[in-house]
Structure 1
Amino acid sequence: MFMLNEIVANKRLEIENKKRNCPLEELMAKLSGARQVRDFHHALTMPGISLIAEIKRKSPSKGELRPGFDAIELARIYSEHGARAISVLADEKFFGGGAHVVEKVANDPFVRLPVMYKEFVIDPYQIYEARSVGADAVLLIVRCIEQPSLLSEMIEIIHSLGMQALVECFAANEAVRAVESGARIIGINNRDLQTFDVDLKRSEEIRSVLPDSAVTVSESGLSSRSDALLAQENGFDAMLVGEALLKSDSIVSRVREFAGLGELEMDVLEHKNV
């Protein structure tokens, strides 16, 4: 079985278990207590190419990514050193995350950035869970959502809760489906989750079929500032970077590099965050 199929099959079991332990009505009752939504869309449309910095403990293809992994420490570094948003893995079995990790990051007093609940979303229940723990955006993977009407429904629910949907595609036909379903922010993943092969040309090719009005994100496989600048030249508003940061000996330096911040700019940013 391909990895994505295995993940989705396991996700169905997870969701059924969550619904038994915390019914949807009980989950929705928590929404009024969630912190105010931060503007994920604005964060991605600021001048230059915006960095969405990722927090994940492991991956199926690479295993554990960082000794002494600490989600809060990473989130604070991202918040202080040039990232414009944070992506937190909500999948526990395959990526070592969880909704509880999203909740800790989203509600940490030293984290000021919008936070995205990054999950293999197949049920609206997960969207309400995302908002209940304080998320500002939700990842939707087109390939995981088989029913065409369900993608539109999920995007509408996300928007109705004040959040933004980052709708992820692997192929041109999926990008078209995302646009037709009402996506405002479209991500193009350079890594195929069936094979885990990376192809940076994927972003450029699919970006060319999207309308200029779409906010676009190049995801996965970016390893340097030059990759970021190439994505910007190809019309992308933002990039999602995980492993290139997490596997670095100096995360501060790597975040600064991807964000394009020099020493003087960093001093200004740190002064503003005091």
Structure 2
Amino acid sequence: MYMLNEIIANKRVEIDEKKRVRTLEDLQGKLREARPVRDFYSALQMPGISLIAEIKRKSPSKGEFPSQFTATELARIYSQNGARAISVLADEKFFGGGAHVVERVANDPAVHLPVMYKEFIIDPYQIYEARSVGADAVLLIVRSIGDSGLLSEMISTVHDLGMQALVECFTIKEAAAAVEAKARIIGVNNRDLQTFEVDLKRSEEIRSIIPDTTLTVSESGLSNPADVVEAQNRGFDAILVGEALLKADDITRRVREFAGLEIIEHQNG
């Protein structure tokens, strides 16, 4: 099983190669051509709990996911059935994604939701890449970045480009670091990226130290609508769901369940 350290080591090699192919200056030049930013923050701030629906082809812990739909087809299903934002994996080796996949989804005319570039970001270069392909938000993992000063700088860079940062933590210490770095949106990952074990109960303790003025997202390991209710009861503003949607026999129905639409329609029927 691949662990976070191995993913980060590979990411350093990837970034060095990307910089050889396209310099940061070239990337910054492309920013003028990117579509206008959509408001990821407001999407998560809407009443009720917001679903961030994820697109990925595989994961180190679960292997390949069923591929009955392309990334853009999935994005359209998400966009039309109650999701409020879309997360697209930008890591190719371990998750089967890529910046080009984010770009296709973010610029598809049938997709109107904010799109998050989900990647193991360790270099500001990746933030500029995210905006250049049309992303509206990026994931920043506290454990991947390590240095609190660099985390603050990266959050500032994200905001300067008009995007939002979902700052992910797994421990109280990491959550405190995210708060100190002035994160506007903090995600609590229920899956340990070193062991890939899931513990939904840990999120409540971590959520308790995050200010109410900060938006919060419960990430990973949510397998059914009951988990959504639990996350909402614990004070989370949004949920990030991938596997439970991607493995469903009826993805459209599953998205509507996690978005709360099936429940609402049933109550109104």
- The TM-score bracket by the shorter chain reads over 0.9
Say whether the 8 Å CA contact 1:139–1:167 is kept in structure 2. yes
What residue number does 1:270 align with? none
Once residues 71 and 86 of structure 2 are traced to their aligned partners in structure 1, the CA distance between those partners, rounded to angstroms, is 11
Q: How far is 1:239 from its partner?
A: 0.1
Task: Calculate the aligned-residue CA RMSD, in Å.
Answer: 1.4
Once residues 261 and 170 of structure 1 are traced to their aligned partners in structure 2, the CA distance between those partners, rounded to angstroms, is 30
Q: Is the partner of 2:139 in helix, strand or coil?
A: strand
Q: Is the partner of 1:51 in helix, strand or coil?
A: strand
Say whether the 8 Å CA contact 1:140–1:165 is kept in structure 2. yes
Once residues 2 and 63 of structure 1 are traced to their aligned partners in structure 2, the CA distance between those partners, rounded to angstroms, is 11
What residue number does 1:5 align with? 5
Structure 1 runs of 4+ with >3 Å offset: 262-266
Letter in 2 for 1:153: E
What residue number does 2:235 align with? 235
**TM norm structure 2:** 0.97
Counterparts in 2 of 1:95-134, with a 5 A limit? 95-134=95-134
Once residues 235 and 207 of structure 2 are traced to their aligned partners in structure 1, the CA distance between those partners, rounded to angstroms, is 7
Identity %: 74
Structure 2 unmatched runs, 5+: none
Counterparts in 2 of 1:58-97, with a 5 A limit? 58-97=58-97
Cα shift readout 1:16-44 (whole Å, capped 9, x = no counterpart): 00000000000000000000000000000
What residue number does 2:258 align with? 258
Letter in 2 for 1:76: R
What residue number does 2:151 align with? 151
Say whether the 8 Å CA contact 1:54–1:242 is kept in structure 2. yes
Letter in 2 for 1:189: N
Letter in 1 for 2:226: S
Q: Is the partner of 1:235 in helix, strand or coil?
A: coil
Cα shift readout 1:117-150 (whole Å, capped 9, x = no counterpart): 0000000000000000000000000000122210
Cα shift readout 1:178-236 (whole Å, capped 9, x = no counterpart): 01001000000000010000000121110011111110000000011110011001000
Say whether the 8 Å CA contact 1:222–1:244 is kept in structure 2. yes
Letter in 1 for 2:136: D
What residue number does 1:181 align with? 181
Aligned length: 266
Q: How far is 1:265 from its partner?
A: 5.5
Say whether the 8 Å CA contact 2:140–2:168 is kept in structure 1. yes
Once residues 215 and 71 of structure 2 are traced to their aligned partners in structure 1, the CA distance between those partners, rounded to angstroms, is 27
Once residues 41 and 25 of structure 1 are traced to their aligned partners in structure 2, the CA distance between those partners, rounded to angstroms, is 28
